[in-house]
Chain A
Amino acid sequence: MNPSSHPPGDAPVPSPENWKNDEAALLTMLEEIERKHGYIPHQIGDEVSRLLEVKLERLKRAQAKLETGIRRDVQQHVARWRGEEGNLIMILHAIQNQYGYVPREVAMELARELGVRLARIYEVITFYHYFKLQPPGKHNVTVCNGTACYLKGAAGLLNELRAQLGVGEGQTTPDREFHVDVVRCIGCCGMSPAVVCDGKTHGRVKPTDIAGLLAGIRSQAKEAKP
């Protein structure tokens, strides 16, 4: 990726792989060329603008595909509940199940499809805790804060998570790897305090177990990759 490894004098037309995904790399490369030649040769300028157009076209196509995808999904969910009065919440559940949250584009599409105002949909989404407007992290760590868990030290678990990940309740780590959340009660009071990691419930968790839990998630993710 380092542009200086391709001396521009030898290869005036840069390989698109070098910078097509990386604006910063492109700029660095152009600067490098300018420094070396005192100007930017027109072949390179032409090539860059051609590739940019190709990229833009691709983006547009992806956008259109996404929009038809969203439209199709929304239409499917609406069709499932059409004719039922008061179906909005059930449709939102279906959408959240699919995307993990309610993306803005989907909500807009849903408003069009149902023929109601967007505000009416957001009114419902924001009232209920269950619906999320932000994409969840790759891994979700949920601490139960029901009364039983609270008494048995859920606050200590949250503190430990903050110490380990640097984020607290309702926040996602900057690398979007972990999302920490607090729920009211998951009904596992017999095993309090409870922590749910990616859908798996762990009971009787101590603050000292948190590091192990996080390491377990990380290593599982690593195993799954190759």
Chain B
Amino acid sequence: MKLFRLRIIRTLLFVFALTMGAAFEARGQGAKLQLDKLQRLADKAAETVDVSLDNQTLQVASKFLKSEKPDEAAIKQLIAGLKGVYVKVFEFDRAGEYASADVEAIRVQLRTPGWSRIVGVHSKRDGDNVEVFTWLEGGNIAGLAILCADPTELVVVNIVGAIDLEKLSQLEGKFGIPKLNLEKGRQHE
């Protein structure tokens, strides 16, 4: 009986250590999400878009967009504090071609300390599910994640760096970020 208890305790300790390890790993990576596991959905998706803009690339954009041109100036200002923009879009021909388990790898990271869900919209009629998460550092927003899970489409947007939520909608349609009607969503809040 003692041996049995000892084994249970050992197993529990092992599971605890693994969970803590995963949590620390997620915490250590900051606002940048590990999106690689979604890549297997590309085999099932009818349309796939994968955009990766790292810090260096964004700095070039921020430095060389022209302040004199209004459209470029607004974006230049908005991306000045960004360190990365990562977008994955998967479009499927039929509903049910991806499972919630496929998105779980992302949700696990968004459940770690540091991430807070600020918007969650779920439509039973359409099956649409939009969630916006922020990553806080020193009380300031230092990252953002948008998860849109429709029955036939999955969109994950991960923005790393200081971002002004008021101007977030300006990024829609830019840097590979699809139009998500965030401004409309804000008006409905």
Decide whether A and B are members of one complex. Answer: no
